[in-house]
């Protein structure tokens, strides 16, 4: 996916996606590459495609699972040992 | 005791304002250093080409060749006291106006100011020199997919958050950000 496409899919305003992508790329969770076309023949600049690395995909899965489990905090509170000194 | 709470709140507010001002000053300094590096690189590139010709021609006259020819430094767009952010905005506007003049000269007619181009120029000037070309190409491709007003909106959004992108790029500096 390219920047504009990601922004539209995430429903984020312009300019917010690229800093996030740059940070994720810096973490090594995302990799980007140029589209393999000739800009002169296509009549437009090359497109930059972003893809999650295996590490990034794993972290994304974990993060999504955490987001979709709203009772995580409650479960953690329940699991905390009760009674006695801290 | 009754006066302590407002005083603490005031001190916190002042501290926050000071932190914000310091962060802004650091950003400006960082940007100024970046531009200074750009100029230094441009001068280093220009120097061999300007000094190579006199070096061969003045080799027989050591009196004149000993003093290095002063390389013409690029004239600053604004006074040195001007903030780098303001100088960036001015250079963006100037480049948009000069583009418009060139276009008018080429086409021989009136042409509206390319506001989008000016906004893009300002946004890109904020970015570090290394990945600037990459984001220019990326941004131009994305703008090409949008309508006229959407382009302006998109470019304005990009410009408004270009500082954030700059910080992200600076934080992730060891990662390979430039590609051919």
Q: A16 touching B, CB under 8 A? A: yes
Closest partner CB to B142 (pick from A4, A13, A27): A4
- What's the first-to-final CA gap in chain A, in angstroms? 49
Q: B157 touching A, CB under 8 A? A: yes
Give the highest mean pLDDT range of A23-27, B38-42, B149-153.
Answer: A23-27
pLDDT at A73 over 70: no
Measured between CA atoms, the residue of chain B closest to residue A35 is B138
**What's the rounded mean pLDDT across residues B172-178?**
58
Closest partner CB to A23 (pick from B141, B159, B172): B172
- pLDDT score at A80: 62
pLDDT at B58 over 50: no
pLDDT digits 0-9 by tens, B3-36: 788 888 888 899 888 888 887 777 777 777 777 7
**Which residues touch B173 (CB under 8 Å, ≥6 apart)?**
A26
Closest partner CB to B157 (pick from A13, A44, A45): A13
pLDDT at A58 over 80: yes
- pLDDT score at B111: 44
- pLDDT score at A49: 92
Please give, one letter per residue, the 3-state secondary structure of chain B. Answer: CCCHHHHHHHHHHHHHHHHHHHHHHHHHHHHHHHHHHHHHHHHHHHHHHHHHHHHHHCCCCHHHHCCCCCCCCCCCCCCCCCCHHHHHHHHHHHHHHHHHHHHHHHHCCCCCCCHHHHHHHHHHHHCCHHHHHHHHHHHHHHHHCCCHHHHHHHHHHHHHCHHHHHHHHHHCCCCCCCCC
Provide the percentage of residues in chain B whose pLDDT is more than 90.
0
Environment class of residue B133 by beta-carbon count within 10 Å: exposed (0-12), middle (13-18) or buried (19+)? middle
CB A31 within 8 A of CB A53: yes
pLDDT digits 0-9 by tens, A59-68: 888 888 887 7
Chain mean pLDDT for chain B: 71
Closest partner CB to B144 (pick from A27, A44, A48): A44
A26, A34, A39: best to mutate for the B interface, most B CBs within 10 A: A26
- pLDDT score at B113: 46
**What's the rounded mean pLDDT across residues B69-88?**
53
pLDDT at B168 over 80: yes
pLDDT digits 0-9 by tens, B82-115: 566 666 666 666 666 676 666 566 555 444 446 6
> 3-state SS of chain A: helix, strand, coil percent to 5?
50, 15, 35
Q: At what angle do helices B148-160 and B162-171 cross, to 10 degrees?
A: 50
- pLDDT score at A54: 92
CB B77 within 8 A of CB B90: yes
The pTM of the full predicted model, rounded to 2 decimals, is: 0.56
Kindly determine whether residue A45 and residue B137, on different chains, have CB atoms separated by under 8 Å.
yes
ipTM: 0.71
Chain B nearest-CA distance from A29, in A, is 11
CB B166 within 8 A of CB A21: no
Closest partner CB to B138 (pick from A16, A28, A48): A48
Size of interface A-B (CB pairs under 8 A): 74
Q: Provide Rg for chain B, Cα atoms.
A: 23
pLDDT at A81 over 50: yes
Q: B175 touching A, CB under 8 A? A: yes
Nearest in space to A1 (alpha carbons), one of A38, A42, A32: A32
pLDDT band at B65 (very low <50, low <70, confident <90, very high): very low
Buried b (16+ CB within 10 A) or exposed e, B6-45: eeeeeeeeeeeeeeeeeeeeebbeebeebbeeeeeeeeee
pLDDT digits 0-9 by tens, A11-29: 888 888 999 999 999 888 9
* A window 23-52, beta carbon within 8 A of B: 23, 25-28, 34, 44-48
pLDDT at A35 over 90: no
Contacts of A19 in chain B (CB under 8 A): 161, 164-165, 167-168
Q: B141 touching A, CB under 8 A? A: yes
Kindly determine whether residue A19 and residue B158, on different chains, have CB atoms separated by under 8 Å.
no
């Amino acid at each position: 996916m390219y920047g504009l496409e990601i922004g539209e899919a995430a429903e984020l305003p312009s300019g917010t996606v690229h800093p996030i992508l740059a940070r994720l790329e810096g973490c090594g969770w995302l990799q980007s590459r140029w589209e393999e076309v000739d800009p002169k023949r296509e009549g437009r600049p090359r497109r930059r495609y972003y893809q999650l690395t295996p590490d990034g995909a794993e972290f994304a899965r974990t993060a999504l699972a955490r987001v979709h489990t709203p009772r995580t905090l409650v479960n953690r509170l329940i699991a905390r040992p009760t009674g006695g000194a801290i | 005791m009754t006066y302590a709470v407002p005083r603490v709140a005031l001190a916190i507010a002042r501290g926050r304002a000071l932190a914000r001002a310091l962060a802004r000053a650091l950003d400006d300094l960082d940007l100024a250093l970046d531009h200074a590096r750009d100029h230094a690189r441009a001068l280093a590139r220009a120097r061999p080409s300007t000094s190579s010709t006199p070096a061969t021609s003045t080799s027989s006259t050591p009196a004149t060749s000993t003093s290095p020819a002063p390389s013409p430094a690029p004239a600053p767009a604004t006074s040195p006291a001007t903030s780098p952010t303001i100088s960036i905005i001015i250079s963006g506007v100037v480049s948009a106006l000069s583009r418009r003049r060139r276009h008018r000269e080429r086409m021989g007619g009136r042409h509206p100011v390319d506001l989008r181009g000016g906004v893009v120029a300002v946004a890109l000037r904020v970015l570090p020199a290394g990945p600037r070309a990459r984001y220019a190409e990326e941004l131009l491709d994305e703008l090409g997919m949008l309508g006229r007003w959407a382009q302006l909106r998109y470019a304005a959004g990009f410009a408004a958050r270009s500082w954030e992108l700059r910080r992200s790029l600076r934080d992730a500096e060891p990662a390979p950000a430039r590609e051919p």
